[in-house]
Structure 1
Amino acid sequence: MTRWNNGLDEVERVSEDITEETNALPARYFTDPDVHELEKEKVFGRYWIYAGHANCVPEPGDHFTRTVGDSELIVVRDHDGEVRAYYNVCAHRGSAMVEETPMTDAGNARRIRCPYHLWTYDLDGTLSSTPQSFEDARLNPDLDDEDVAELDTERNALMEVNTDRIGPFVFVNLHDDPPLSLAEQAGSMKDELEALPLEEYQLARRYVSEVECNWKVFGGNYSECDHCQANHQDWVSGLELMDSELEVDDYHWILHYKHKEDVDDEMRIHEEHEAKFYYFWPNFTVNMYGTANGYGTYIIDPIDEGRFQLIADYYFEEPDLSEEEAEFVRTSRQLQEEDFELVERQQRGLESGAIAQAQLGPNEHTVHRLHLLAQEAYEA
């Protein structure tokens, strides 16, 4: 049963089985700033995190920045065509080098140069040059030029971050020795997505929204559709919700929704006439609505314990949208705005102090999986 914060009940660990009575994360895990700080290390510092789409950096030197937790990263395509990621930190005195550059407006540079003292790095991260002032001691009366040690270009290279890909989706892992490979974390989702021609699509639209709730509250909302009939009536009118399916794997889950009527074969990227939503722990989704030849992604980035930023990207064969593609985006944005109201209402309730630990319904096993993964990460 629900545990109210009345001083009589103590919260318990998330249950292994959703059929058990106490099966949700305690409320404080959605409101406590200490938990937010813990997640930077235990969640976003250990698991594979979506960084961006490889199609947005098609040429050598193309780059964008991405922040994961407190870490600023540079994602760049090198001269060999590989997409790599580095901490946005100069080896000299720790200055940030590249200004914030969104994926939608990627920059290009032959080398990465720190504007502070002009240390310059090749795209493979090695130090390529420094100003003359680092090679002689003309301003230091206590040193002769021959006393100046030659800089080791490899030891003074940029700090590289582990990267891997699922099709065109680039992921990073901040851990020195990731506990899981990306293939292990993604499971069957990797093969399923790589069987689709995702790399043939270009980023056409991006919407960034700041929402007043914990990122896990939104993740839970995305992961179930018990709320859809009451809150997404326009969308569900075209679906057979009773024929829907929730598929749960170790670190991802898939929500399948059948359309009441078939759609034109040319207007879909996947093989079946269905809306298909992938949630990949901890904070990435791939969305296919079954009514347009394209797909969307969400990045659910925490800002603090009570706010997150949703980055919604839409990919189509051409950046100029057809009527059907524009409708795809309108539908998606409508669903987001309807959900924003719901999750902000839930956050207010969690922050009220009235509830200590909620319970989950039998069809919320995907939400249960999200909560259990969070609990396991905290305890790792």
Structure 2
Amino acid sequence: MTRWNNGLDEVERVSPDITDETNALPAWYFTDPEVHELEKEAVFGRYWVYAGHANCIPETGDYFTRTIGDRELIVLRDHDGEIRAFYNVCAHRGSAIVEDTPMTDPGNARRIQCPYHLWTYDLDGDLASTPRSFEEARLNPDLDDEDVPELDAEDNSLMAVHTDRIGPFVFVNLDDDPMPLAEQAGELTDELEALPLEEYRLARRIVSEVECNWKVFAGNYSECDHCQANHQDWVKDLELLESELEVDDYHWTLHYKHKEDVDDEMRIHDEHEAQFHYFWPNFAVNMYGTADGYGTYLVDPIDEGRFQLVADYYFRESELSEEETQFVRTSRQLQEEDFELVERQQRGLNTGAIAQAQLGPNEHTVHRLHRLAQEAYDAYADETAEDRSHEGEASEA
């Protein structure tokens, strides 16, 4: 049952059963700035989040930056060829070290040096050197040089962030003790690693700012009940009745068959189908089945009413063929059609008229998305309450 803000209906938590009346998140979770702040910790500070593509930093010292919530990260390839991530924060006095460096134009450095006081770090994050002024006390009349302690390289290292990969896709986790990426990804790992994704290079990037909450767009992406009415140019070439939907704990995959055969040489995967993978919380991979390539999509929140969609397209060559150009064109058309839909939904939510929506029986992926958000909020609330309890016990002692 849809619940309205008319003083009569009360909202409830998302039910685990999609057939229950309260099968959607309360509407205020899509409009409240406090929820946006909560999600920086409860969602993006706890789960594995896509950072970027390994092929964009192929050489030792290559790096790009990535901001998750309010946290700026440096993602780099070290001397052993491994990809690491660190907070973009100097261990000296907390200065940001490098400027914003997109994955499309990565930087390269033998070492990472903070421009403020020239503290310099190896690619493993350890402190490599400091200026002489940190070794001598010549300007401090109360200290002799021999009283200046030596700075330990490891104790004064950059703050590392957990990293892991699925094929060429690099993920980071800001939690101190995260679940393994393999646990969060489930069968998605095998599905993606069965494809030769690492053979492809970034060829195009399109960045869009959209006027809606990121969960609204994620919900739109997760179902295709709206496709027949709103993506008519696309669905005319698909057998929607032959579609399949696979749902795992933290990801879901939609498969759609093409009506006409597609040359196998133009395929990244077997069978003539489109594959849409969504990985909680905000990452997607698309294979439209009409070109030798794929797209990745990052749904990055800006605030409670806006997100940024970063759409990257990967092909074997940077010079696109006719089929590859059509791939990007089709993807962009679908995005623009969806932008109109989700911004319309956000406008309705912003009126405050609806208190809690009602999902349909085939929107079980949307229900799963809402449940994951609810579970994240609840887990963070429980953890925060436990921390406060321990603080209270410690103060009484």
TM-score scaled by length of structure 2: 0.95
Could you say which residue in structure 2 is the equivalent of 1:342?
341
Aligned pairs, number: 379
- Structure 1 residues 1-380: aligned runs within 5 Å: 1-178=1-178, 180-380=179-379
Pairwise CA distance, 1:9 = 0.7
Pairwise CA distance, 1:17 = 1.4
Pairwise CA distance, 1:309 = 0.4
Pairwise CA distance, 1:20 = 1.5
Pairwise CA distance, 1:141 = 1.1
Mapped partners of 1:267, 1:362: distance in 2 = 36
Amino acid at match of 2:302: I
Amino acid at match of 2:49: I
Divergent runs of 4+, >4 A: none
Q: Secondary structure at the match of 1:275?
A: strand
Q: Secondary structure at the match of 1:266?
A: helix
5+ unaligned residues in a row in structure 1: which ranges? none
Mapped partners of 2:341, 2:271: distance in 1 = 30
Q: Secondary structure at the match of 1:338?
A: helix
Mapped partners of 1:77, 1:85: distance in 2 = 9
Mapped partners of 1:259, 1:369: distance in 2 = 27
Pairwise CA distance, 1:272 = 1.4
Offset from partner CA, 1:276-329 (integer Å, 9 cap, x none): 100000000000000000000000000100000000000000011000000000
Mapped partners of 1:185, 1:228: distance in 2 = 28
Pairwise CA distance, 1:114 = 0.1
Mapped partners of 1:103, 1:47: distance in 2 = 21
Amino acid at match of 1:378: Y
Mapped partners of 1:245, 1:24: distance in 2 = 23
Could you say which residue in structure 1 is the equivalent of 2:388?
none
Amino acid at match of 2:267: R
Mapped partners of 1:363, 1:26: distance in 2 = 19
Q: Secondary structure at the match of 1:176?
A: coil
Amino acid at match of 2:154: E
Q: Secondary structure at the match of 1:38?
A: helix
Q: Secondary structure at the match of 1:65?
A: strand
Mapped partners of 2:303, 2:266: distance in 1 = 39
TM-score scaled by length of structure 1: 0.99
Mapped partners of 1:267, 1:128: distance in 2 = 48
Offset from partner CA, 1:58-83 (integer Å, 9 cap, x none): 00000000001110000000000000
Amino acid at match of 1:56: C
Pairwise CA distance, 1:143 = 1.0
Q: Secondary structure at the match of 1:217?
A: helix
5+ unaligned residues in a row in structure 2: which ranges? 380-397
Q: Secondary structure at the match of 1:104?
A: coil
Mapped partners of 2:79, 2:377: distance in 1 = 39
Pairwise CA distance, 1:246 = 1.4
Amino acid at match of 2:145: D
- Give the aligned CA root-mean-square deviation in angstroms: 0.5
Q: Secondary structure at the match of 1:311?
A: strand
Mapped partners of 1:115, 1:290: distance in 2 = 47
Percent identity (aligned): 84
